[in-house]
């Protein structure tokens, strides 16, 4: 039997008035949803902006190319282009030299695109002869180039002006000979970090005489295979034709785990938000039990009660979501910079740092916000509607009900927790299973909380009795007698505070592991590196003259070098590092698996060491063979060692320089490690090296200590987003503590009035209320520690491992734990201030009036 | 007064679990009430008066027996249909008034009418009319916490009568009021119920109330017994 919707108007009016009469409560619950949504939306927008930035810049430089010819190592001989175009007669082909440079006057990295304007027309409109590039000026042998109109404005430069570029520490001048006109906003954005130059200019800038980065091709799908067959005989050993999208795919794969983890952390904030909503709604229902009982007695059906409470949830969810989305957009303006900075540090250069507002992200935020509110509100709403009218009319029945349920609830909690452990054991469960298990354990723990509160109250009661006498005892007793309300509030606080412990411990563990790894990794006294566009990747090279000069400097006893290149393997594009330390490398690299004999053999044999992250991501183990596309063709390398490496979450392959030289025609050096002679002061030697290299290529010369600090700085920078998220979780937790406890105390105003009427002074009332909220804060703080450690354990040993494959040391710092307990207590005490102030000021007679 | 049996309680049995013991509250209780009759149900605190009213209103279900009101056996209905029956056919007056604190006096009276599906103009008039009858026509916009105990109970009476229920149940209606206010409330209740020709059961331990009754029954040991001499009962 359906009731006329008109019937429910008064019910809805009654609900609205109830919310309006409890403005603090109402506002805080909206804030709980808003914060959760804001975090999710901001992370999502930052991620999608970073992705969009990448695809925009890729699109701009890839143009309409369907395929690319790439060399085995970094480069391709320019003779190949001549052969493809003339011998294979593939007209739709264009040579490209690509790299990064910093432009003086703006603090960001630009992509330098070296092109041949004559061949460009089918590929990139802005770089072709048809776009109006003056060939005589563009290809006159000087360093000349073009930037977009907006960049020129930003640089305050005009045609004819000279720009200063810094490429891997070397300075160049570039004359501006024209401006690229963007046809729309989208292309303007794509071009905002691009400098277009002639091929030969680019070759000079990147020290790539006679070489190309790639050759772009347009191969129509109908005769793609035939054209490929025509091209292949002209390609040098190791070069291959790949689809243009493959680079985008590789990049997406690289950042997937990073983005997923950020999203998951933001979901954790939403989960905490959900607990707050659950708490708020439960509270709101418990508070209204008598009211609901009266309505039920008057003939309001269970469904009508359920619908009304859910409608309230929709209202709270809607308002919270709207505020959350707006706040999320603002927050994203900050986060997008942090996210793109982390991506720049970790993966590749993202020049666009602007926020792009993606409707899909906003829609997702809206669905999550309202959906999470509805899910969180459903159980309290259902409980409200299911309650028996006769028991609802009696206040104490609910308390006796929950008291009887403590043990069954704890047992269910235990089972749910064990279910979480079961989810962890699912083979190949991946990150999703990790987070699901985390959710199970959180819910399981929350269900055990009422039992733990009763246990803790038994311990705290005599202690508080000694400190505050009867008031102390009453305060603790109150927590247990109102268990149906206090346990939900405490559970919400525990989850919120535990999330901050979990993330805090994870970051600490990560940092401790990296610091100790750096200590063993950095064995040399001094490190020399060119400035790199990607902080963790050595893509620039050192000038050979400089290397010789530094090696021969007085006080340098020994030196070793590193070469880092991207190579194609049977697993995709990977980072290959060649080291020339010989057997001494044994001191530097910590092996996870493999034998010491590796170091004796690796200089002569085609054997390779892979980092544990690489082994995990690519599912390879000792004894497996990797095929690397080298200048000598596809060459097999047998994995003989797996090492710990926290510098890259993509993974690294390491071989000896001797073996590298056999397979690659490349004598460049990406980094140099120097050992000071005995008795030589390292800092003085650094100074001497800097003096000697003055006026040459600009490089970083850092002592072991300096490099360690610089590395930690990058580490901290890449974790800034996580720390920001942790701060937000702390904020959500703080608001949760405030809202739950304040609502609890405000709701007890009648009981407090009875105490006042019975002669309790305002001072004693303050003591009573603040002691009680303090006790709840202590309970929540203490309970958040084991749950937080459990969450950290899963984050470190399951989620981190499944996302990145790193083995981390588990590091629990007392600081994080004390912060959590302190946060809970401080917020609890603050939450007690307003109600006790309000009640001590109020006339008890007003509160005692019958409603 | 029509002479047919309007409410029929047959072999009503209800007991509650208290720890290990089963406490019997109603023990094969029987009662017949005619339409328009005013019954006072006497009993000490804890004798089961509220339990009996809960059975009659369909708030609770008996362990055994029938509750037939106007031909419908409430004990055979599910929870939802008992609720719908209650909203249409039963009016309540509680000891602690139980007004909805978030609705005004007028809206409180309006609520059962709206729940019953009455249209707006009609309901607004009727709610106002009943508020006038209990002497609170000018307090319609006041919220319950702004009304005195007597005023709140008068609103509760208006609410109980407004949707023209078949039966009105009053549980200690003067229990929370002073003597004088209690008398006034009782008079209003008596006048309005009789004026509107409603059937009413008043549960009370206050024997003074018996003077407005057509019939007095006493609940003792889970069974009902008829009090033959009302004047004697009042003494």
Residue B56 lies in a domain: no
Chain A neighbours among B 167-226 (CB < 8 Å)? 176
**Least CB–CB distance from A294: residue in B54, B88, B100:** B100
Q: Chain B: residue nearest A297 by CA?
A: B59
Q: Where are the domains of chain A?
A: 1-62+247-395, 66-243, 531-698
Give start and end residues of each alpha helix (H) in A192-244: 199-205, 224-231
Distance (Å) from the alpha carbon of A302 to chain B's nearest alpha carbon: 7
Q: How far apart are CA A791 and CA A265, in angstroms?
A: 12
Asked if A390 and B59 come within 8 Å (Cβ–Cβ), the reply is yes
Percent of chain A with pLDDT over 90: 10
What local confidence, expressed as pLDDT, does residue A573 receive?
Answer: 79
Q: How many CB atoms lie within 10 A of CB A690?
A: 12
Question: Which residue, among A670, A652, A644, has the nearest Cα to A533 in the 3D structure?
Answer: A670
A4 part of contact set with chain B, CB < 8 Å: yes
Distance (Å) from the alpha carbon of B7 to chain A's nearest alpha carbon: 19
Residue B157 lies in a domain: yes
Kindly tell me if the per-residue pLDDT of A819 is higher than 90.
Answer: no
Q: Which one of A298, A390, A391, A392 would you mutate to disrupt binding with B, by most B Cβ within 10 Å of its Cβ?
A: A298
Distance (Å) from the alpha carbon of B100 to chain A's nearest alpha carbon: 6
Contacts of B144 in chain A (CB under 8 A): 851
Chain B neighbours among A 283-312 (CB < 8 Å)? 290-291, 293-303
Residue B140 lies in a domain: yes
Q: What is the mean pLDDT of chain A?
A: 80
Distance (Å) from the alpha carbon of A305 to chain B's nearest alpha carbon: 12
Q: What CA dihedral angle connects B218, B219, B224 and B225, to 10 degrees?
A: -30
Q: How far apart are CA B48 and CA B15, in angstroms?
A: 10
Contacts of B176 in chain A (CB under 8 A): 850
Contacts of B149 in chain A (CB under 8 A): 850
Percent of chain B with pLDDT over 70: 97
Tell me the average pLDDT across A137-165: 83
Q: Provide the number of structural domains found in chain B.
A: 1
Helix (H, G, I), strand (E, B) or coil at A183: coil
Are A774 and A486 in contact by the 8 Å Cβ rule? The answer is no
What local confidence, expressed as pLDDT, does residue A707 receive?
Answer: 75
| Residue A108 binned pLDDT confidence (cut-offs 50, 70, 90) | low
Strand residues in A159-275 grouped as ranges (E): 162-167, 170-180, 194-198, 211-212, 214-217, 240-243
Report which of residues B199 and A838 the model is more confident about.
Answer: B199
Kindly tell me if the per-residue pLDDT of A398 is higher than 60.
Answer: no
What local confidence, expressed as pLDDT, does residue B10 receive?
Answer: 93
Which residues form the domain of B167?
A: 38-43+78-234
Q: Chain B: residue nearest A3 by CA?
A: B117
Q: Who's near B153: CB < 8 A, 6+ residues apart? A: B93, B97, B173, B174, B176, B177, B181, B185
Are A466 and A800 in contact by the 8 Å Cβ rule? The answer is no
B142 part of contact set with chain A, CB < 8 Å: no
- Core vs surface per residue A780-814: b (16+ CB within 10 A) or e: bbbbbbebbbbbbbbbbbbbbbbbbbbebeebbee
User: How, if at all, do strands A109-115 and A93-103 pair?
Assistant: antiparallel
Q: Among A46-55, A495-504, A796-805, whose mean pLDDT is lowest? A: A46-55
Q: How far is CA A502 from the centre of its chain?
A: 15
Residue B89, domain CATH: 3.40.50.300
B117 part of contact set with chain A, CB < 8 Å: yes
Q: How far apart are CA A46 and CA A807, in angstroms?
A: 28
Q: Chain A: residue nearest B116 by CA?
A: A7
Tell me the average pLDDT across A166-186: 78
Tell me the average pLDDT across A775-796: 90
User: How, if at all, do strands A240-243 and A214-217 pair?
Assistant: unpaired
Q: Who's near A421: CB < 8 A, 6+ residues apart? A: A437, A441
What would the pLDDT profile of A688-708 be if each residue is shown by its tens digit? 888 888 777 777 788 877 777
Q: How far apart are CA A233 and CA A219, in angstroms?
A: 17
Q: Chain A: residue nearest B100 by CA?
A: A291
For B203, the token pair is: 């549960």
Contacts of A301 in chain B (CB under 8 A): 80, 83-84
Three-state DSSP string of B196-219: CCCEEEEEECCHHHHHHCCEEEEE
Q: How far apart are CA A655 and CA A603, in angstroms?
A: 8
The CA-atom distances, in angstroms, between B118 and each of A177, B103, B159, B162, B225 are 83, 18, 14, 11, 40
Contacts of A291 in chain B (CB under 8 A): 100-102
What would the pLDDT profile of A276-286 be if each residue is shown by its tens digit? 667 767 777 77
Residue B66 lies in a domain: no
Strand residues in A233-340 grouped as ranges (E): 240-243
Contacts of A295 in chain B (CB under 8 A): 100
Question: Which residue, among A387, A401, A384, A408, has the nearest Cα to A483 in the 3D structure?
Answer: A401
Contacts of B114 in chain A (CB under 8 A): 6-7, 9-10
Question: Which residue, among A44, A87, A93, has the nearest Cα to A68 in the 3D structure?
Answer: A93
């Amino acid at each position: 039997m359906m009731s006329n919707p008109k019937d429910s108007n008064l019910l809805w009016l009654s609900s609205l008035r109830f919310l309006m009469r409890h403005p603090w409560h109402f506002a805080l619950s909206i804030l709980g949803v808003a914060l959760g949504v804001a975090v999710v939306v901001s992370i999502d927008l930052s991620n999608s902006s970073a992705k969009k930035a990448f695809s925009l810049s890729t699109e701009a430089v890839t143009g309409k190319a369907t395929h690319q010819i790439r060399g085995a190592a970094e480069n391709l001989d320019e003779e190949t282009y001549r052969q493809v175009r003339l011998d294979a007669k593939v007209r739709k082909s264009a040579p490209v030299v690509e790299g990064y440079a910093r432009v003086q006057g703006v603090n960001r990295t630009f992509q330098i695109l070296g092109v041949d304007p004559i061949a460009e027309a089918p590929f990139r409109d802005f770089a072709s002869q048809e776009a109006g590039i003056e060939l005589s000026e563009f290809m006159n042998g000087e360093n000349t180039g073009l930037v977009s109109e907006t960049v020129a404005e930003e640089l305050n430069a005009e045609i004819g002006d000279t720009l200063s570029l810094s490429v891997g520490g070397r300075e160049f001048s570039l004359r501006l000979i024209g401006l690229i006109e963007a046809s729309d906003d989208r292309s303007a954005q794509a071009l905002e970090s691009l400098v277009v130059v002639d091929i030969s200019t680019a070759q000079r800038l990147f020290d790539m005489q006679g070489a190309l980065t790639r050759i772009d091709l347009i191969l129509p799908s109908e005769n793609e295979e035939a054209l490929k067959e025509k091209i292949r005989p002209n390609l040098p050993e190791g070069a291959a034709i790949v689809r243009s999208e493959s680079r985008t795919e590789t990049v997406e794969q690289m950042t997937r785990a990073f983005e997923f983890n950020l999203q998951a952390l933001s979901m954790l904030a939403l989960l905490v938000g959900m607990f707050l909503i659950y708490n708020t709604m439960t509270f709101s229902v418990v508070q209204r039990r008598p009211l609901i009982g009266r309505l039920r007695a008057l003939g309001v059906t269970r469904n009508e009660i359920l619908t009304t409470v859910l409608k309230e949830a929709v209202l709270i969810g809607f308002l919270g979501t709207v505020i959350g989305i707006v706040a999320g957009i603002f927050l994203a303006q900050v986060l997008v910079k942090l996210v793109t900075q982390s991506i720049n540090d970790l993966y590749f250069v993202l020049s666009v740092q602007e926020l792009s507002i993606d409707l899909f992200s906003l829609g997702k935020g809206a669905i999550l916000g309202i959906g999470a509110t509805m899910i969180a509100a459903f159980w309290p709403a259902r409980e409200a509607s299911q309650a028996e009218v006769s028991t609802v009319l009696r206040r104490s029945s609910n308390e006796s009900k929950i008291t009887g349920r403590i043990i069954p609830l704890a047992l269910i909690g235990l089972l749910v927790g064990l279910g979480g452990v079961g989810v962890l054991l699912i083979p190949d469960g991946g990150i999703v299973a990790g987070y699901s298990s985390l959710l199970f354990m959180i819910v399981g723990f929350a269900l055990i909380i009422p039992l733990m509160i009763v246990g803790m109250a038994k311990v705290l009661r005599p202690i508080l009795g000694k400190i505050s006498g009867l008031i102390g005892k009453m305060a603790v007793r109150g927590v247990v007698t109102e268990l149906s309300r206090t346990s939900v509030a405490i559970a919400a606080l525990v989850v919120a505070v535990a999330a901050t412990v979990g993330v805090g411990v994870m970051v600490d563990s990560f940092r401790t592991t990296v610091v100790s790894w750096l200590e063993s990794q950095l064995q040399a006294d001094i490190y020399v590196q060119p400035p790199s566009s990607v902080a963790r990747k050595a893509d620039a090279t050192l000038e050979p003259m400089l290397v010789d000069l530094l090696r021969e400097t007085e006080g340098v006893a020994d030196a070793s070098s590193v070469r880092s290149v991207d190579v194609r393997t049977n697993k995709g594009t990977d980072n290959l590092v060649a080291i020339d330390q010989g057997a001494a490398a044994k001191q530097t690299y910590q092996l996870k698996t493999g034998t010491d004999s590796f170091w004796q053999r690796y200089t002569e044999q085609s054997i390779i060491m892979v980092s544990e992250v690489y082994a995990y991501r690519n599912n390879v183990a000792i004894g497996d063979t990797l095929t690397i596309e080298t200048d000598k063709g596809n060459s097999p390398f047998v994995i003989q060692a797996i090492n710990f490496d926290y510098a890259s979450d993509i993974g690294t392959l390491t071989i000896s320089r001797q073996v590298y030289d056999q397979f690659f025609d490349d004598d460049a050096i990406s980094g140099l490690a120097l050992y000071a002679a005995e008795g030589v002061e390292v800092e003085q030697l650094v100074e001497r090296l800097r003096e000697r290299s003055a006026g040459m290529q600009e490089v970083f010369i850092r002592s072991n200590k300096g490099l360690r600090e610089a590395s930690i700085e990058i580490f901290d920078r890449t974790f800034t987003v996580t720390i920001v998220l942790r701060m937000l979780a702390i904020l959500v937790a703080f608001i949760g503590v405030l809202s739950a406890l304040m609502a609890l105390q405000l709701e007890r105003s009648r009981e407090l009035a009875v105490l006042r009427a019975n002669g309790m002074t305002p001072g004693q009332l303050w003591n009573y209320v603040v002691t009680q909220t303090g006790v709840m804060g202590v309970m929540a703080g203490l309970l958040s520690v084991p749950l937080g450690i459990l969450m950290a354990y899963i984050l470190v040993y399951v989620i981190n491992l499944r996302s990145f494959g790193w083995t981390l040391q588990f590091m629990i710092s007392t600081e994080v734990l004390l912060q959590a307990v302190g946060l809970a207590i401080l917020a609890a005490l603050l939450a007690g201030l307003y109600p006790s102030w309000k009640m001590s000021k109020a006339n008890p007679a007003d509160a005692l009036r019958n409603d | 007064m029509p002479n047919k049996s309007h409410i029929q309680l047959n072999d009503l049995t209800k007991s509650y679990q208290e720890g290990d013991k089963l406490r019997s509250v109603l023990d094969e209780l029987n009662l017949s009430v005619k339409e328009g009759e005013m019954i006072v149900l006497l009993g000490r605190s804890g004798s089961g008066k509220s339990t009996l009213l809960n059975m009659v209103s369909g708030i609770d279900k008996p362990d055994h027996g029938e509750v037939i009101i106007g031909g419908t056996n409430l004990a055979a209905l599910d929870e939802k249909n008992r609720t719908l029956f209650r909203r249409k056919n039963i009016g309540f007056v509680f000891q602690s008034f139980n007004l909805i604190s978030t609705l005004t006096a007028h809206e409180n009276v309006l609520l059962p009418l709206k729940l019953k599906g009455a249209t707006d103009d009609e309901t607004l008039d009727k709610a106002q009319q009943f508020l006038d009858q209990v002497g609170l026509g000018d307090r319609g916009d006041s919220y319950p916490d702004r009304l005195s105990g007597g005023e709140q109970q008068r609103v509760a009476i208006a609410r109980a009568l407004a949707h023209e229920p078949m039966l009105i149940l009053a549980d200690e209606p003067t229990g929370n009021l002073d003597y004088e206010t209690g008398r006034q409330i009782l008079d209003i209740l008596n006048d309005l119920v009789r004026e509107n020709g409603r059937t009413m059961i008043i549960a009370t331990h206050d024997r003074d109330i018996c003077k407005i009754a057509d019939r007095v029954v006493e609940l003792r040991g889970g069974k009902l017994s008829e009090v033959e001499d009302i004047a004697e009962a009042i003494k």
